[in-house]
A and B are shown apart, each in its own frame.
Chain A
């Protein structure tokens, strides 16, 4: 199966989720904006305040707006659980829906307020004169006359929302953005292009249909309005149809935003499927988001790394050794969150500083202590997380590292940046196949500032005692060594004979079975 075929096979799920999310956000946005705008057209101060607020929302980067709703909803869910005894899923559909709803409001608000406030006073006077109540004047005269302008606002909103919905992927909501985020990580440009084209095509089709409705309203041509409505129903129906059969509870597999995680996510999905458990995948989640999501039950299973839990969740700064770290994590996760730690998969994916071999040799750098002597002239590249993580502060402290410049990349592009000389050092992942491929030098950590990073399989409290679930995953424990994982990762990362995560997962499953 080629990359394109695989991308095509995800389309029903991604498009359906994308359409459902965009449509819900748009309808909710209109349902909120329209009455507010009607009110605002009568109360001038409210109009100013509303348009001001909606304008400010627009200036917040959309990705940040989406990201902010997760902690907000999580806190709210904790509160309702403690106060009323029920919680809700803070990850996925809900935060994406709320953020997009806020985002969709400005054009509808602005156009409705403008159209109503700018209405010819003679027409409003005539409406009263023929004996209409204020409500009748609004519904029979003012709103119908404002309809084309309001529709133009809805059109703008629809295009915005469909485009912005691609950013819902990192908050755990499947969308056409899954192609883009995953594709960017594994440098699979077929995926990225597929996602971009699909989102653009959807936006274009919806925009054309709404334009038809708008012209129908202007010309008072019923046929056009019906045709547009029928077209929209067709688009939505066709997109949502494949989802109908999939209703019901599904296990959620979480992944972080790099190749190894995608591959392992597929391996877990296949193991669960063979035990008759249906699953969906939430891709591209951040390290702290994914752990909290697991504890809250928004994610049911994922692969984390011991050092990440040790330093970020447990806030430990010591390094008692591989075995001791693994044991404490298993106890701590069970005790504090009810999370089941199934154990290590058998390989380590550590944060390790890497340099090009020629550069390291020229500067006589073998370990982090050597690096400290030259750091002042060197530029370091890292992923989006590392520089704000406690491990990094520990390394800086232990070796007194201070770099000339610091840059952040998608984990994947980091390696290209190192090879092309844009940066001199990167915070590599030790299981990454590109370390061997590019012949990179990994710098030793003689002072043990970095903890071990054994890959471990974590299961949510809801499935912690689910025997069928656990036994489906148990064969993965201790089954993957570092070389095998590096090879699988490289299959996805390399430029030539590039494989998709699903293909690499199949290969890996073959190795595990042996």
Chain B
């Protein structure tokens, strides 16, 4: 999980991983390979990317959106259709109801599910998610986040997930990287962060979920 305030460099960092933004200095390695040594287009086709606000192509159907990267990679038509249906099942949208719809005919949550399916289409091992569920209603958001965590586990993915919500980060993340002013403030598991916050900023950030957890515990203890 990449977390930090707006302007702290979360999205920039994420975008440098698949070279949507070129780093001006330093080295980025993916599986030990320097990304600058790879072809940017090939690199992007090997990673799934879920954009803030879905970023679906409005002139393509759900099926065409999902199959876009496989198509760029030259998959046969039947394989693309089968993959689209398989992924729609995975993100819990009934293929026969959704595959031929256009993005404008879907709700925000459904669009985001399609965006996840599109990112997974070419079987990447690395997924980049940029505040994917930020703009959604809390209920739908939790639902989606849970579903995604499941997919992540089932497929054995490496996911870099950008968020500004520490609660979300703690609930979903294996490791959390806290960013401040373009630099890493601390990297660790949720427990390490809770136990040993590196500085006041990290301490302040984890205060929110802690306070929420205490309040929630009190409410639940009193009972209905």
Nearest Cβ on chain A to B165's Cβ, whole angstroms: 21
Is there an interface contact between A129 and B59, defined as CB atoms closer than 8 Å? Answer: no
Asked, given contacts A123-B58, A129-B20, A145-B59, whether A136 binds B72 with beta carbons under 8 Å apart, the answer is yes
- For A123, A131, A140, the residue with the greatest tally of chain B CB atoms inside 10 Å of its CB is A131
Name the B residues within 8 Å of A126 (CB-CB): 51, 55-57
Name the B residues within 8 Å of A144 (CB-CB): 59
| B152 interfacial by beta-carbon distance below 8 Å | no
Main secondary structure of the interface of A (DSSP, over half): helix
Is there an interface contact between B58 and A129, defined as CB atoms closer than 8 Å? Answer: no
For the complex, give the distance between the alpha carbons of A130 and B58 in Å: 15
| A141 interfacial by beta-carbon distance below 8 Å | yes
- For B42, B51, B53, the residue with the greatest tally of chain A CB atoms inside 10 Å of its CB is B51
| A50 interfacial by beta-carbon distance below 8 Å | no
Which A residues from 386 to 403 make CB contacts under 8 A with B? Answer: none
- For B20, B44, B73, B122, the residue with the greatest tally of chain A CB atoms inside 10 Å of its CB is B44
Name the A residues within 8 Å of B102 (CB-CB): 220
Name the B residues within 8 Å of A512 (CB-CB): none
Is there an interface contact between B72 and A132, defined as CB atoms closer than 8 Å? Answer: yes
Q: How many residues of A contact B (CB 8 A)?
A: 17
Chain B interface bracket (under 10, 10 to 19, 20 to 34, 35 or more) = 20 to 34
Name the B residues within 8 Å of A141 (CB-CB): 57, 59
Which A residues from 118 to 139 make CB contacts under 8 A with B? Answer: 122-123, 125-133, 136
Name the A residues within 8 Å of B49 (CB-CB): 129-130
Number of A-B contacts defined by CB within 8 Å: 50
Name the A residues within 8 Å of B73 (CB-CB): 131
A198-229 to B contact mask, C-beta < 8 Å, 1/0: 00000000000000000000001000000000
| B112 interfacial by beta-carbon distance below 8 Å | no
Name the B residues within 8 Å of A140 (CB-CB): 68
Asked, given contacts A122-B51, A125-B51, A136-B72, whether A130 binds B118 with beta carbons under 8 Å apart, the answer is yes
Which B residues from 57 to 102 make CB contacts under 8 A with A? Answer: 57-59, 68-69, 72-73, 102
For the complex, give the distance between the alpha carbons of A125 and B11 in Å: 13
For the complex, give the distance between the alpha carbons of A183 and B49 in Å: 67
Is there an interface contact between A130 and B69, defined as CB atoms closer than 8 Å? Answer: yes
| B45 interfacial by beta-carbon distance below 8 Å | yes
| B25 interfacial by beta-carbon distance below 8 Å | no
Nearest Cβ on chain B to A429's Cβ, whole angstroms: 64
Q: Of B42, B44, B58, B68, which is within 8 A of A145 by CB?
A: B58
Is there an interface contact between A131 and B20, defined as CB atoms closer than 8 Å? Answer: no
Asked, given contacts A125-B20, A128-B20, whether A133 binds B55 with beta carbons under 8 Å apart, the answer is no
Asked, given contacts A125-B20, A126-B51, A220-B102, whether A131 binds B57 with beta carbons under 8 Å apart, the answer is no
Q: A122-B51, A123-B57, A126-B57 are in contact. List 6 more A-B contacts (CB 8 A).
A: A126-B56, A127-B57, A128-B20, A129-B20, A130-B45, A131-B72
Interface residues of B (CB under 8 A from A): 18, 20, 41-42, 44-45, 49, 51, 53, 55-59, 68-69, 72-73, 102, 118, 122
3 closest A-B pairs (Cβ-Cβ)? A131-B45, A126-B55, A131-B44
